[in-house]
Amino acid sequence: MSDTVAAKPLPRTSFLRGLRLSRHRGLLIAIAVFAALFLFADLISPGPISYFEVSYLSSGGATLAIAAVGETFVILSGGFDLSAGAVISLVNVVLASNYAMGDPDAGLFFWTLVGIGIGTITGAFNGFFVAFLRLQPIVVTLSTMFIVQGVTLLIMDKPGGFVAPSLGIYVGDAITEWLPMPIVLLGVVILFWLWLKGTRFGTAIYAVGSDPDAARSAGVRSSWVLFFVYVLAGGFYGLAGTFISGQTGSADPLIGNPMLLQIFAAVVVGGTVLGGGRGGPVGSIFGAYILMMVVNILLVLNVSAYYSTIAEGLILILAVLAASVSSDSTLARQLRDARSRISAWRGGRLPGQIGTAVHRLSLAAREAGAKSSSPLPAFRVRHAETLRYALPAYICFVVVIVVTQAVLGNAAFNWTYYNSLIVLSSFLAILALGQGTVILTGGLDLSVPWTIALCGILLAGMVKGSDAALIYALPIVLVVGCLIGIVNGLGIVFLGLSPIVMTLATNGILQGLALIYSGGTPDGFSSPMLRAFMTSKIFGITPVVFFIAAFVVFAVVLLGRTPFGRRVYGIGNGLRVAELSGIRTGRTLVLVYMLSGLCAALVGILLTGFSGQASLGMGDEYLLPSIAVVVVGGALITGGRGHYLGMLGGVLLLTGLQTLLAGTTLPYATRAILFGLVVLGAVIALRDRRS
Amino acid sequence: MTIASKLVRYAAAGALCLGMAAAVSQPAQAQDEKYKVFLSMSYIGNDWQAEAANMVKAMAAHKSMADKVDLQVQVAGPNAQRQIQQINAMVQAGADAIVVFPISPTALNSVVKNACAKGVIVIAYDAEITDECAYNVSIDQEEAGRVTAEWLVEKLDGKGDIVVLTGVPGTSVDTLRTKAAKEVFAKHPDINIVGEAVGMWSQAVTRTELSKILATREWDDIDGLWLQVGCYTANAMQLEAGKTPEELLPCAGEGANGGRVQMLPIGTEVEGAASPYAPLGAPRISYASPPYSGGLALKLAVDKLDGKDVPKKTVLPLPIVTSETIKLCQEGTWQEMKDGCNAFLPSIVVNPGWFASIFSEETPEIGLNAALVGQPEL
């Protein structure tokens, strides 16, 4: 931390020089961290590092590195690509399932082209919707992810098959006992990038990522640039899929899916800034190998498995912190702001740490009063926009009900159907407020899964079937949720970490805590009252339905009618503007993440009641849907736009759709494709038609 | 230490080529120091995985093993790439044997081949590694799917509407089980699958998915259930919906202890029981991929290191418990289980989703305490 403070004035003295230096520093620090880890690993492992080990290391991290290079292009352009892992799986199964049918003599070159070709096709699919229809990258690629996963499972429903043996060259030696092939491959990738960077297209990627409007004004055809960014990224995922095929010699339809978060981590650790414009693929390659070295070091040190996710989370934070210390003017500025904020807080009464509601409200009221000069029309405009973006989800939801009635019957006029739907929706409806508010500020909360799981496990462990224990267990768990959110918020506001990095790291740390607390097997179970709350019926209505009704009112009022809500929208529309108009952005952001933590804790409680017990992975299924419903409900992933009622529509739509699909006997692969198409269809309906 | 063991191995390998004299000296020398054995497991956030890991640890801690084996555990998460990397690192760290829960049966092939080439014994439990140099310990998944489906068809007299809940899509285990079961159902035209969902082998997901299916159906519209995991939850949901224990639907599913306890006749004295984790006389067939397979894998790996013959593929007998063969254990020692008990007291096994198929003739070293807390039998 002291380094950060010391290094800060540099970028300010010469802005241009600082920027250029910083771009290299991100990379240089990634290389330095990698080298340090490498030496450390050498130190603690018995014997010197041999060629064999270098060869293994290089092939072990190559898939991740290549995929991270692809992802880097997308992130540089200001986007986000969730389809990377799925494309790797798709290429893997296509290469394996066609080997037997294809020309057995076809060589490395042919199959590599096939792999890259498949990647570019999916990339073109993404690119078309993102660049030309101006859809939000995160939703487009989320849909693509589901569709590609479905197609992958249609091609191959279980692991097996063989790929062309010639692909094995990728994991062999380029020069025996001297140079492993993966390093050559990565060298080629780097050379390609150095060439690309010098072209107009290379410059345009940075231009579009830094400021799309400015790029357009400067004559960059930003749509085409974006399109080719996704195509290019797809090509790299394809290459990664080809590489992993060569590495494994056969196929597994699930091989790439869990790599997604690691790919992001690699890009971020490599010094590329989320949001676009700064960083580069070379750093991502080192980022990938840093992540890999960490695993090896943990193994050599024999760190208990329970602590490994905690260690990885901390390393992620430290690596990004180290890389961003001097590298990035925005982050440096945030740090400066943070410092002034801290000193302001020191002068004041540290209200954020006490966090009493009364205190907050009184402050809020005064600020609102001061701001009331902003005229009424803004409100009306916002209202019209809300309808425009919230309605499509509800329209689609009605369509789903009609189809359900037609296909399964017993839906549209059946209260049981709606009751089940609301109970099943309750988890996402609550998460939508937390995740939605975070997204409204332009952030993202990836710590939701393990906040849910940890809170559920804590609750079940404390309650152990006793209703009386709920009296203290419920508040404790909710406070834990808030604390998790506060940690996230503090990391984002005061350390200047990007929300994705901070919450991703928190998620890993929480996972470790949950494992340590539960010893690997959570015990305890929910009390009868909590179970009845989620599963019993009073005159055909489950009690939680009333709760959700109240929650929806609360959420709408919170976001629409309170100063807090207005500050959230203010921050989402422009952090700097919000700051200059007197919003205490830091405090508001911490509160936003606290709200998200609180909502996740609530979901953990309700899920424990619903299932009767808590389990370790119970939150995993809620991360991507929590983001999807917010966006399908009309919110803008970059913040500032969206209404809770729209998100609620998104929740109902997705839950209704899943209910419909569960009632059929369609295979999972088809369902995944349908699900992806519906999400895509919904956002096409929400398309921004301006310009 | 590792260098020494490497040298031992090189020496032994070289000597093997030369003559049999060295082959005798190898085990004798290896006894002097512990075998370095690694466990590479998959996702730890799962009762089955945790239980299997406990049983491996207990096996390593048993008095017959403790002075022979130095066990280190690593978790790869759900990521096959990371497991590849971990196994590589284990080989580099001088492993003598690697016990592995393979995240992907195919992705590990080349790394396993390399490990074998360096003289490391690789033995997989539960799921298989397809490379021929690997040792495998698992049940016959197709048999599991077939036997349970046949039981359900018989219970329904070959006629009725059933709901199917599968496992994790895209895995061999799920595909083989589901395919075998569906082949059985296809032979009986009067068996209709009216709802099918992905259960992810999780009680929590089971409840969500069954709730979705029941949004448009009544329990009375369904005659039977074939769930890879989730009969415990399905029974609980039926009780919540107002069914009496006598009306519970026949359910073919997993070996969770909650489900086992529900199979006990109504009125059985069970310490710690509370509905729905209580004897209900539920009509069930309960099967499982037994979590002891990891412990057995370790034992076989050590046998192999000791120079004994170990078959490349060990097919475990399918642990089947039906309402007719259910029997409550009081303590859960290996001896007690050998005498035929197969369900555990809720007062000891608090988590109903805990997998109860922990008995094997082959592993007298590990009993209930092994699975719960990693303590071996005395």
A304 versus B36: the higher-pLDDT residue is B36
pLDDT value of residue A143 = 93
pLDDT value of residue A13 = 44
Tell me the C-alpha distance between A569 and A299, whole Å.
45
Q: What is residue A165's DSSP assignment?
A: G
Tell me the C-alpha distance between B249 and B281, whole Å.
11
CB contact under 8 A, B215 and A250: no
Domain ranges of chain B: 2-139+291-316
Residues in chain B with CB shorter than 8 Å from the CB of A525 are 277, 350-352
Distance of CA A526 to the CA centre of its chain: 30
CB contact under 8 A, A247 and B354: no
CB of B61 within 8 Å of a chain A CB? The answer is no
pLDDT value of residue A104 = 59
With a CB-CB cutoff of 8 Å, which residues 215-254 of chain B face chain A? Answer: 215-217, 233, 236-237, 240
Tell me the C-alpha distance between B270 and B261, whole Å.
9
Tell me the C-alpha distance between A167 and A238, whole Å.
13
Choose among A106, A222, A226: nearest CA to A165: A106
Tell me the C-alpha distance between A241 and A229, whole Å.
18
Residue type at B1 in one-letter notation: M
On average, the pLDDT of chain A sits at 85
pLDDT surpasses 90 at A631: no
Q: Are strands B321-322 and B284-286 parallel, antiparallel or unpaired?
A: antiparallel
CB contact under 8 A, A250 and B106: yes
CB contact under 8 A, B80 and A258: yes
CB contact under 8 A, A249 and B77: no
Closest by Cβ to B89, choosing from A244, A247, A296: A296
SS3 at position A303: coil
pLDDT value of residue A664 = 84
Measured CA to CA in angstroms, residue B223 lies from A56, A63, B162, B267 at distances of 54, 48, 6, 25
**Enclosing H/E stretch for B137:** strand B135-139
Residue range A192-233, pLDDT digits in tens: 999 999 999 999 999 998 888 888 888 888 899 999 999 999
Mutate to test the interface with B, among A63, A299, A303 (most CBs of B within 10 A): A299
The CA R_g of chain B, rounded to the nearest whole Å, is: 22
**Cβ-based neighbours of A15, under 8 Å, separated by 6 or more:** A329
- Looking at 3.40.50.1970, 3.40.50.2300, 1.10.3720.10, 3.30.2350.10, the CATH number of the domain B2-139+291-316 comes to 3.40.50.2300
Residues in chain B with CB shorter than 8 Å from the CB of A465 are 274
pLDDT surpasses 60 at A327: no
Residue A368 φ/ψ, nearest 5 degrees: -60, -40
* Count of CB atoms situated within 10 Å of the CB of B10: 11
**Enclosing H/E stretch for A641:** none
Closest by Cβ to A47, choosing from B3, B50, B86: B3
Tell me the C-alpha distance between B304 and B69, whole Å.
13
Q: Give yes or no for a contact between B304 and B98, defined as CB atoms under 8 angstroms apart.
A: no
CB contact under 8 A, B197 and A524: no
Which residue of B lies nearest to A57 if distances are taken between CA atoms?
A: B85
pLDDT surpasses 80 at A356: no
pLDDT value of residue B12 = 45
SS3 at position B225: strand
Cis upstream peptide for B276 (omega within 30°) = yes
The CA distance from B276 to the nearest CA of chain A, in Å, is 9
CB of B2 within 8 Å of a chain A CB? The answer is yes
Map B93-119 to HEC letters: CCCCEEEECCCCCCCCHHHHHHHHHCC
Closest by Cβ to A255, choosing from B47, B80, B276: B80
Q: For helices A644-662 and A668-685, what crossing angle results, to 10°?
A: 150
Q: Give yes or no for a contact between A589 and A489, defined as CB atoms under 8 angstroms apart.
A: yes
Give the model's confidence band at A323: pLDDT under 50 very low, under 70 low, under 90 confident, else very high: low
CB of B361 within 8 Å of a chain A CB? The answer is no
Which residue of B lies nearest to A417 if distances are taken between CA atoms?
A: B215
pLDDT surpasses 50 at A83: yes
Burial class (CB in 10 A: 0-12, 13-18, 19+), A168: middle
Q: For helices A51-76 and A281-301, what crossing angle results, to 10°?
A: 130
CATH class of A381-685: mainly alpha
Give the model's confidence band at A452: pLDDT under 50 very low, under 70 low, under 90 confident, else very high: very high
Give the tokens for residue A273: 């800034």
| Residues β-bridged to residue B227 | B165
CB contact under 8 A, A668 and B198: yes
Measured CA to CA in angstroms, residue B32 lies from A16, B4, B63, B121 at distances of 66, 11, 16, 19
pLDDT value of residue B350 = 84
Mutate to test the interface with A, among B42, B57, B85 (most CBs of A within 10 A): B85
Residues in chain B with CB shorter than 8 Å from the CB of A668 are 166, 169, 198
* Alpha helices per DSSP H over A14-99: 15-44, 51-76, 84-99
Q: Give yes or no for a contact between A632 and A678, defined as CB atoms under 8 angstroms apart.
A: no
Closest by Cβ to B354, choosing from A410, A521, A665: A521
ipTM here: 0.84
CB of B123 within 8 Å of a chain A CB? The answer is no
Q: Give yes or no for a contact between A602 and A430, defined as CB atoms under 8 angstroms apart.
A: yes
CB contact under 8 A, A611 and B79: no
Residues in chain A with CB shorter than 8 Å from the CB of B43 are 617
Calculate mean pLDDT across residues A98-116: 78
Residues in chain B with CB shorter than 8 Å from the CB of A252 are 80, 104-107, 170
Q: Which residues of B269-290 are buried (b: 16+ CB within 10 A; e: fewer)?
A: ebeebeebbbbbbbbbbbbbbb
Residue type at A352 in one-letter notation: G
Q: Give yes or no for a contact between A386 and A633, defined as CB atoms under 8 angstroms apart.
A: no
Domain ranges of chain A: 51-266, 381-685
pLDDT value of residue A353 = 54
pLDDT surpasses 50 at A2: no
Q: For helices A644-662 and A543-561, what crossing angle results, to 10°?
A: 150
Residue type at B357 in one-letter notation: S
CB contact under 8 A, A615 and B215: no
Give the model's confidence band at A326: pLDDT under 50 very low, under 70 low, under 90 confident, else very high: low
pLDDT value of residue A683 = 81
Tell me the C-alpha distance between A654 and B131, whole Å.
42
Which residue of B lies nearest to A664 if distances are taken between CA atoms?
A: B195
Choose among A514, A300, A303: nearest CA to B50: A514
Residue range A516-559, pLDDT digits in tens: 898 777 877 888 899 999 998 888 899 999 999 999 999 999 99
SS3 at position B316: strand
**Which portions of chain B are predicted below pLDDT 70?**
1-32, 43-46
Q: Give yes or no for a contact between A498 and A275, defined as CB atoms under 8 angstroms apart.
A: yes
Token match 């991290």: residue?
A61
CB of B110 within 8 Å of a chain A CB? The answer is yes
CB contact under 8 A, B172 and A158: yes
Burial class (CB in 10 A: 0-12, 13-18, 19+), B242: exposed
Q: Are strands B160-166 and B224-227 parallel, antiparallel or unpaired?
A: parallel
Handedness of CA B290, B292, B296, B298 (dihedral sign): positive
Choose among A143, A148, A161: nearest CA to A87: A148
Which residue of B lies nearest to A247 if distances are taken between CA atoms?
A: B110
Residue type at A434 in one-letter notation: G
pLDDT value of residue A116 = 96
The CA distance from A270 to the nearest CA of chain B, in Å, is 19
Give the model's confidence band at A374: pLDDT under 50 very low, under 70 low, under 90 confident, else very high: low
A353 versus A623: the higher-pLDDT residue is A623
Closest by Cβ to B109, choosing from A249, A258, A668: A249
Q: Give yes or no for a contact between A84 and A260, defined as CB atoms under 8 angstroms apart.
A: yes
pLDDT value of residue B15 = 42
CB contact under 8 A, B352 and A613: yes
**Cβ-based neighbours of A198, under 8 Å, separated by 6 or more:** none
How many Cβ pairs within 8 Å bridge chains A and B?
234
pLDDT value of residue A689 = 57
Residues in chain A with CB shorter than 8 Å from the CB of B114 are 56
pLDDT value of residue B13 = 44
Tell me the C-alpha distance between B83 and A190, whole Å.
27
Residue range A394-414, pLDDT digits in tens: 988 999 999 999 988 888 888
